[in-house]
């Protein structure tokens, strides 16, 4: 079996597409692992639990994602919603880690 991943424009059948999607999902998971590693670092570095939630930073991250999505021709409103969920999940994780590190 050929497990070569093709770029989207080179896909010729749904098997190619599915392999590409699965490979991309694995790459995204690795990136999420790194992103959440930064949340662990933030939890370690921040000395005050009350500064974990930073609404201005949250809005900046979502705005950046929306802008990048627009440039890439992606559905920017949906991407902004997705990023909002990602940031909220990251905040919850950072709070959990902050508490764990200090228990």
- Look up residue 73 and give its DSSP letter: T
The reply to whether 18 sits in an annotated binding site is yes
Angle at 74 between CA 68 and CA 78, to 5 degrees: 90
The reply to whether 35 sits in an annotated binding site is yes
Please enumerate, as own/partner, the contacts of 11-17 that have beta carbons within 8 Å and a separation of 24 or more: none
d(CA 65, CA 63): 5
The reply to whether 46 sits in an annotated binding site is yes
Annotated binding site: 18, 35, 46, 94
Annotated binding site for substrate: 18, 35, 46, 94
């Amino acid at each position: 079996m050929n497990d070569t991943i093709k770029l989207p424009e080179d896909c010729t059948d749904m098997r190619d597409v599915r392999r590409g999607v699965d490979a991309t999902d694995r790459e995204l998971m690795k990136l999420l692992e790194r992103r959440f590693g930064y949340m662990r670092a933030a939890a370690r570095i921040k000395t005050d639990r009350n500064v974990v939630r930073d609404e201005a930073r949250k809005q900046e991250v979502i705005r950046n994602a929306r802008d990048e999505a627009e440039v890439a021709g992606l559905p920017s409103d949906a991407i902004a919603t997705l990023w909002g969920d990602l940031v909220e999940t990251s905040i919850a994780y950072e709070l959990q880690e902050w508490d764990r590190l200090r228990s």
